[in-house]
Amino acid sequence: MTTLNTPTKPAQIRLARRSPAYWRVTIDNPPINVMGPEMVRQFQELIDALEADEDVRVVVFDSAVDDYFLNHSDFIAKLGDLTSMPAGPTGLPPWPDFLVRLTRSPVASIALIRGRATGNGSELTLACDMSFASREKTIISQWEVGVGMVAGGGPMARLPQLIGRNRALEVLLSSEDISGDQAEAYGYVNRVLPDADLDAFVEALATRIAGFDKWAIANTKRLVNTSLPPDVELGAGWDACIASLGRPAAQNGIKALMERGFHKPGDAENRLGYYLGQIER
């Protein structure tokens, strides 16, 4: 087991090397798996390690926190701690840089979704090569427009190619919570499975891929990736996201959600789509 963190910071991402070819990355930032600057740093450490390792063929992302895969950003953290971080090797800021590099890496990536994949969690799902979700416990959301923001991790670029323009706009502009069954029907995730079957299915698939030749995996991904949107489109989304955070509409929307219990365990997080529709504007 490896923790991806500096010596003075708690690990929010845990890396388990099941074998040289198969890595499991577990997101663990209780109580609700929000993503702040420290988690972004740890994602950067992870992608550096994935790119440097010659043996790894498949990586699976899961969560140790009940009811949350990966949640929205940490709005209590200082925004400057995030915006002051240097750009990654792609020239993009660290979060979109991680997402682009994960998609383009010569490693097969799988999201195992159990719980809420809200904002950042949806963006990680879209960056992975495959995604499999619990039928009973999955909620996916791009919630940002509902609070006066623009999403920062590239769903405007990725979703239309994945599920079509009209459905992408439904997801983004409604800011509604999407069940696992609906996500499967739209093509947002590969498939949903009964929660009791999810772990065994992903484990078998990851183990199978880990046994294949890395050159063949890498070159197949490289050729499929010609269909990806340009990286610059993800950068434009990030710029719009940061600009949106300074607008009074977003500040007021986030404050209104906080007053209803947002950002801590409870109904406002569990039914975020509902509460977004209750904000006075």
- Tens of pLDDT, residues 148-159: 999 999 999 999
What pLDDT is recorded for position 8?
54
Q: What is the pLDDT of residue 10?
A: 81
Alpha carbon dihedral 115, 203, 209, 132, in 10-degree steps, equals -20
d(CA 124, CA 134): 16
Dump pLDDT digits (tens) for 113-172: 999 999 999 999 999 999 999 999 999 999 999 999 999 999 999 999 999 999 999 999
Let me know: does 137 contact 79? Beta carbons within 8 Å: no
CA 198, distance to chain mean position in Å, is: 19
Nearest to 250 by CA among 147, 173, 119: 147
CA distance 13 to 34: 12
Which tens digit of pLDDT belongs to each residue from 190-244? 999 999 999 999 999 999 999 999 999 999 999 999 999 999 999 999 999 999 9
CB atoms within 10 A of CB 246: 9
